[in-house]
Amino acid sequence: MSAVVRFIDFLGKMGLILRGDPPRTINMTDRVWGMAVQGFALSLREIPRDDAEQLASVSVVMKNNGNETQAFVIPGWMHFYAVQIVAAQTPYGRSLLRPERSKERLEISVGPGDATETDIPVGSFYELKAKTEYAVSVTCALPDGTGLRSNEIRLKA
């Protein structure tokens, strides 16, 4: 795989959509959900890797199970979701996830039954040791400050 393709894949895993990309379809098959709060639920699962050298990534889906469209303003996706994992951050992760870097604001609107998906490259953000299994979950705060938690998965580095 060329360096350009790997770079574009990396940007895609950061939740960025590049011009020319087809609309993203969320695979809801066999998703396990955390406890619903105020009509929202989070689902976390590992993204299958194409090769052994590829770093671990997870997919986070937030679904609106309510009957009304919910619109709110959130910090950028990498600051909206907090990854719960017992592992040290990489220098890149420490730099990217510093609180002062969360100035970006995104307006999102999630209709009834709709969902949003974000891929998080946890292998780039955290020092994951080979052949080690990690318990991983994700949390976020809804606009009123209420916490929302995903299911927990076992991630192999």
Residues 68-98 pLDDT 10s: 998 888 887 788 999 999 999 999 999 988 8
User: What local confidence, expressed as pLDDT, does residue 7 receive?
Assistant: 73
3-state DSSP call for residue 13? helix
Q: For residue 126, give the nearest of 79, 90, 77 by alpha carbon.
A: 90
Q: How many domains does the chain have?
A: 1
Strand pairing category for 105-110 and 58-64: unpaired
User: What local confidence, expressed as pLDDT, does residue 144 receive?
Assistant: 85
Q: For the domain that residue 127 is a member of, what is the CATH number?
A: 2.60.40
Q: For residue 122, give the nearest of 77, 56, 60, 76 by alpha carbon.
A: 56
Cα gap 73→75, rounded to integer Å: 7
Tell me which residue range forms the domain holding 111: 3-156
pTM, two decimals, is 0.81
Query: Quick one: how far is CA 128 from the chain centroid?
Result: 17
Residues 10-35 pLDDT 10s: 766 665 555 455 667 888 989 999 99
Cα gap 65→38, rounded to integer Å: 9
3-state DSSP call for residue 144? coil
Residues 6+ apart with CB under 8 A from 36: 65
CB 79 within 8 A of CB 97: yes
